[in-house]
Amino acid sequence: MFKELELDALKEIGNIGAGNAATALSMLLSKRVKMRIPEVKSLPFDEVSMLVGGPENVVSGIFFRVEGELAFNILFILGPNDTLNLLKIMLQREKADLNLTSLEESALKEMGNIIASAFVAALADFTKLSLKISVPCLAVDMAGAILSVPLSLYGCIGDTAFLLETEFEEGLDDIKIQFFLIPDDDNAFKVLLNSIGVRASNGNNSSGDGRI
Amino acid sequence: MEIIRVGMGEYKTAKAPAILVSYGLGSCVGVALYDSTKKIGGLAHIMLPDSNLASKRDFNPGKFADTAIERLIEDMMSLGANSKKLVAKIAGGAQMFQLKSENSMMMIGKRNVQAVRTKLNRLNIELIAEDVEGNYGRTIEFSCETGKLTVKTIGRGTKIL
């Protein structure tokens, strides 16, 4: 299990990345964007989908794979209304349903790309780790199905997922974007901590007891 | 009528008229086993193909295709099912994101489906219906009364296997 100091350090790393990402989103939309302080959570797999409205809830998911000295996954989740409101700002036209055209899909992926890249750039800068981010992938589908991709990886080592979560919110147009950083395993968080000189304790966080 | 939810990495058994449900399968595979003579059903919601992938020895068997199917059969037998009468229906194993990666785990859906087929074959359990792969999520409901597996999707209709 991670110690308090280590959790604080992880949150701070998340904060630096997410701050950069929020700025990028704000510039993209030319709007004020609020960001929640990132939280580090350890959750049973089933409960992760409850964070985004339950496994059957239809959401837009934009997924990135980050590889290099650290392997993790970045996932943005937007509810149906958030997706439509975002598209309205980006493309200047009204949209009634989630049958997206390829232009609309590109717009969502590009939005994800801009904020994920800002996050990863800040992370790489701060930690001096070499990181490579994939192209964006988009799916509009059941939340459980979208989350199954990064969560399955975690299944190799435990029954709980250890993840970093935050939220970006643009209040005027009612857009909320949930951000998840899900590493392949607990080791990724240790590498992160070591990279900034915090010696990580040698515990497996995904012990299945739901505690951090 | 009792509706029993089977979450990620779980396996559960039931007698008619109960319904076993797994919501939002993506790369995971739902394996439904049925003894029609006793009307005993079982559903496993597997996440990974092989228990060799587990990094610890005291892993949860429900997560892996090989161990989950074995345990599910044991539980069904203790409920009174005849292991020789079992037939299987499977759904899921999608690839939600088309992504090039050095990590073969990104193709986990397909690997899950193959692992399930191999395991069923090895146990001589006939696979009588499947709705697998693709790039979309599925919710499945297995009726222990009829042995029918209902597969629901977003925008791609509903199938009954």
pLDDT tens string A56-77 = 999 999 999 998 988 889 999 9
Task: Answer whether B26 sits within 8 Å of A58, measured CB to CB.
Answer: no
What pLDDT is stored for residue A198 in this prediction?
77
Residue of B nearest to A153 (CA): B105
Task: Answer whether B8 sits within 8 Å of A56, measured CB to CB.
Answer: no
What pLDDT is stored for residue A210 in this prediction?
41
Strands B87-92 and B126-132, sheet pairing: parallel
What pLDDT is stored for residue A174 in this prediction?
84
Q: Number of A:B CB contacts under 8 A?
A: 120
Cite the active site residues of B: 28
Cβ-based contacts of B55 with chain A (< 8 Å): 156-157, 185
Domains in chain A, ordered, with CATH? Answer: 4-195 (3.40.1550.10)
Judge whether A101 and A25 are in contact, CB under 8 Å: no
Of A56, A152, A204, the CB nearest to B139: A56
Task: Answer whether B47 sits within 8 Å of A152, measured CB to CB.
Answer: yes
Residue of A nearest to B52 (CA): A156
Q: What is the signed CA dihedral for B50, B52, B56, B61, rounded to 10 degrees? A: 30
Task: Return the structure tokens found at B122.
Answer: 């090895």
Which of A61, A52, A120, A101 has the alpha carbon at shortest distance from B27?
Answer: A61
Q: How far away is chain B from the Cα of A145, in angstroms, using its nearest Cα?
A: 4
A192-197, long-range: CB within 8 Å, 24+ apart, which pairs? A192/A10, A192/A13, A192/A70, A192/A127, A192/A129, A193/A6, A193/A9, A193/A10, A195/A69, A195/A127, A195/A128, A195/A129, A196/A9, A196/A13, A196/A126, A196/A127
Which of B51, B83, B82 has the alpha carbon at shortest distance from B67?
Answer: B51
Of B27, B60, B139, the CB nearest to A142: B139
Prediction ipTM score: 0.89
Q: Across chain A, what does the average pLDDT equal?
A: 86
Mean pLDDT of A168-183: 88
Cβ-based contacts of A65 with chain B (< 8 Å): 99, 101, 103, 106
Residue of A nearest to B103 (CA): A67
**Exposure of A178 by Cβ count < 10 A (0-12 exposed, 13-18 middle, 19+ buried)?**
buried
Task: Answer whether A137 sits within 8 Å of B99, measured CB to CB.
Answer: yes
The whole-angstrom separation of Cα A52 and Cα A210 is 18
What pLDDT is stored for residue A206 in this prediction?
46
CATH architecture of the domain with residue range B3-160: 2-Layer Sandwich (3.30)
Cβ-based contacts of B155 with chain A (< 8 Å): 99
Neighbours of B3 (CB within 10 A): 10
Mean pLDDT of B57-83: 93
pLDDT at residue B16 above 60? Answer: yes
A112-152 tens-digit pLDDT: 999 999 999 988 988 889 999 999 999 999 999 999 988 88
Task: Answer whether B48 sits within 8 Å of A149, measured CB to CB.
Answer: no
Task: Answer whether B47 sits within 8 Å of A155, measured CB to CB.
Answer: yes
Residues in chain B: 161
Residue B97 touches partner A, C-beta closer than 8 Å:
yes
